[in-house]
A and B are shown apart, each in its own frame.
Chain A
Amino acid sequence: MFKNEEMEINLGPQHPSTHGVLRVKLRLDGETVTKCTPVIGYLHRGVEKICENKTYFQGQVWTDRLDYVAAISNNLGWAEGVEKLFGIEVPRRAKYIRTLLTEQNRLASHLLWLATHALDIGAMTVFLYAFREREYLLDLFEAFCGARLTTTAFRIGGLREDLPPGFIKDAQVFQDRFLHCLYEYEELLTENRIWKKRTVGVAKLNAEDCIALGVTGPVLRAAGVPYDIRKAFPNAAYAEMDFEIPTRTEADTYARYLVRLAEMRQSHRIIQQCLDGLPEGPVMAKIPKILRSEVNEIYHPIEAPKGELGYYFVSEKGGTMPYRMHVRAPSFVNLQALPKMIEGRLLADVIAAIGTLDVVLGEIDR
């Protein structure tokens, strides 16, 4: 009369907490997940192919649409990758401003992560608190380049324009306030018993698994591996900055939460150094109107908020467009850790795991 049967459900592509159009096929035994298969591709636009038909100047626009919550990081990777390909040296002031904006963007991205992660677990007030600060940052981006989300902030060889008047003052206002805001989030979550219950020991992924799966970013650092491209292969002005790489060894959701919060403090430090030590000078290098490449290939990694974001360019002789372009998207690589994290755990942990991986579907599907 009674029989046991596993139920298969689709979490997504339309679901409140899959952060876009991620679809996760789950086999459930009661509330326990026995098998998990992420299904992607709902947002595929063929960015890599499109970029093969765009000049190096035009291609950056498409990088905005990869990880749309951290567009400036994507822009930085593209601009620096192309500059590496053509051997262009960027003025020091431009490097500083790039670092400044990228770090502010990292804050914006981490704030969005904190907001949605907390909301997924049920703490909805943090969501609005974090959005309040993110809003201020987006206003700063808007003042800089006219766009809030799809910024296309940089140009090959530097910046289109210098910082607008008043930018540094506004950024400093944010700097002065932000640490207190972090304290507000922490007060709601860090020692909250329910929050700890939902995150401590949940969705573990130890260092060996992280490395085997190619997982980078805060997830890797929360497993105790201090790998950060800003230190390992310094780009922009990171070599001149004084900051630390926060790591934890617990490798669970709570550790990742602490690592990301610590990273926000470090970003805050870097921004302060950029604001204080902003050098004078031009913001644009002298580059030809049309860039014509030699036969070459380069891979340029940067530390995006989600992990290692790499741009791979293959160029041909006399070409104005990349012969082949590939993006090593951190969310894409990180997502493959999901089944490992949650199989055998409860349904509610799936939500926590998706939140803690901080995936953005624009980057996964490209």
Chain B
Amino acid sequence: MPTMNLTQTLVMGLIQVVAVLILIFVMVPLLTFAERKVIGYIQVRLGATRTAGGLVGITGSLNRGMWAMGKVPVLSILRGLPVFIADILKLILKEDIIPAKAERSVFTLAPIISVMAAFGVFSAIAFSPGALFIFPKGFPIVGGLPFMGFISDVNVGVLYILGLSSVGVYGIVLGAWASNSKYPLLGGLRSAAQIVSYEVPLTLSLLTPVILAGSLNFRELSIRLTTGADMHWLAAFPLFVGFFIYTTCGFAETNRTPFDLPEAETELVAGFHTEYSGMKFGFFYLAEYTNMIVVSCFASAFFLGGYYLLPFGLQRFIPASVPFLGQPSILFFFLKVFAILFAFLWVRATLPRYRYDQLMDVGWKYLIPLTLVNLFAAAIIRFAF
């Protein structure tokens, strides 16, 4: 990497931050669209096919266009795509109500905490192992510099990400408490207990790849796990088990079905965000979906082979000389991310919800012992073979 002066570093950082923010703001609405569609098709219906409004004006022309698209077999899936713009517009334009008895400052702060924690995590996630492209020579300030697939290459990236993502629960608990209402309070308490409980197996399951690879750097860890020369073939087993534990805990951390107790709509109306409306609710929503993407990125990088095609050390069977398949690529990374995101939606459409005590049982009685055993196995494989 060519050395950069201060201005170049700052500008480069800014460009990458903006790029990642754009990525988030594109992926989250697309994810909500995908959620409508995937769950729709699983439930033998079409999902969103039109925006609100009739057949006149802007929405009218959109609706007519989508109606025409519905007649083309492949394109018909994309009907309803403009709905995500309508969704965002609705959230932004909607009246922002603060209940009279709410604690105003905390009530406002809570969604910001949630969303900041979710976004901050992205600064240490590497989407690609190296440069995506190099700015052309004539480009102002950053000409000739590579555009990396990550914002910063933190040495203790995993630690940073885990620390920051556990801040998100404060947003939920504070928001629930500040609403000064009973259902949010129950939701907030559930959420606190749930996220604290599942943080333990989540972190422990992430220790498995950390031990195996001997690194805390997001990018390095991922690459070493897949192609590291000292990786024993037995390492695939703890990784395989770890993947399932991690994904399970990830579902719990992001409050998704079957662990969506904090916002169990049929029990607690809307859980911790019952009193929220407008863009404040939008922030919680954004945080939840961003966290889903974070969890998917983690699972993809640490358990499913990250930038390489095959997971669990199978990549060694494809020599690096094979053109595309043997090389690391951002495409493989996102392919796995999307697969896991699809699993999130799939599970939501399939499984019922756990009860509060059963959720705790699953966490403390099964997942934590299982992760400890798995961790132990990983440690043996790392140091004995």
Contacts and interface: CB of A to CB of B under 8 A. Distances in A.
Interface of A: 7, 9, 15-17, 28, 31, 118-125, 127-129, 132, 188-189, 192, 194-195, 197-198, 346-351
B264 A198 contact: no
A118 B43 CA distance: 14
Contacts of A16: 265-266, 269
A123 B267 contact: no
B183 interface: yes
The interface centre, meaning the residue of B186, B353, B356 with most chain A CB atoms within 10 A of its CB, is B353
Contacts of A195: 352
A198 B355 contact: yes
B358 to A, nearest CB: 5
B59 to A, nearest CB: 26
B352 A121 contact: yes
Contacts, number: 83
A125 B267 CA distance: 18
A128 B44 contact: yes
Interface of B: 39, 42-45, 182-183, 185-186, 190, 257-258, 260-261, 264-267, 269, 348-358
A128 B350 CA distance: 12
Nearest to A347: B267
Nearest to B43: A128
The interface centre, meaning the residue of A118, A125, A132 with most chain B CB atoms within 10 A of its CB, is A125
Given A9-B183, A121-B266, 17 more contacts: A7-B182, A9-B182, A17-B266, A31-B186, A31-B356, A31-B357, A121-B352, A122-B257, A122-B258, A125-B42, A128-B45, A132-B44, A194-B258, A194-B351, A197-B355, A350-B267, A351-B266
The interface centre, meaning the residue of A189, A194, A350 with most chain B CB atoms within 10 A of its CB, is A194
Contacts of A347: 186, 267, 356
Contact of B351 (A15, A127, A192, A348): A192
B182 A125 contact: no
B22 to A, nearest CB: 32
B379 to A, nearest CB: 31
A15 B352 CA distance: 19
Overall SS of chain A's interface:
helix
A96 B153 CA distance: 77
Given A122-B257, A347-B186, A347-B267, A198 B43 contact: no
Contact of B349 (A118, A124, A132, A192): A124
A17 B267 CA distance: 7
The interface centre, meaning the residue of B185, B264, B355 with most chain A CB atoms within 10 A of its CB, is B355
Contacts of A194: 258, 351-354
B44 A119 contact: no
A28 B182 CA distance: 11
A121 B353 contact: yes
Nearest to B353: A122
B357 A122 contact: no
Given A122-B257, A122-B264, A125-B43, A197 B354 contact: yes
Nearest to B265: A16
Contacts of B348: 124
A197 B45 CA distance: 29
A15 B264 CA distance: 12
Contacts of B357: 31, 346
Contact of B355 (A124, A188, A348): A348
A351 B350 contact: no
A122 B186 contact: no
Given A7-B182, A188-B350, A194-B258, A120 B266 contact: yes
Given A9-B183, A194-B258, A346 B352 contact: no
Nearest to B361: A197
B349 A351 contact: no
Contacts of B354: 194, 197-198
Nearest to B258: A194
B352 A118 contact: yes
A15 B265 CA distance: 9
A192 B358 CA distance: 15
Contacts of A349: 355
B265 to A, nearest CB: 6
Contact of A123 (B39, B190, B351): B351
Contacts of A118: 352
A115 to B, nearest CB: 11
A31 B44 CA distance: 36
Contacts of A17: 266-267
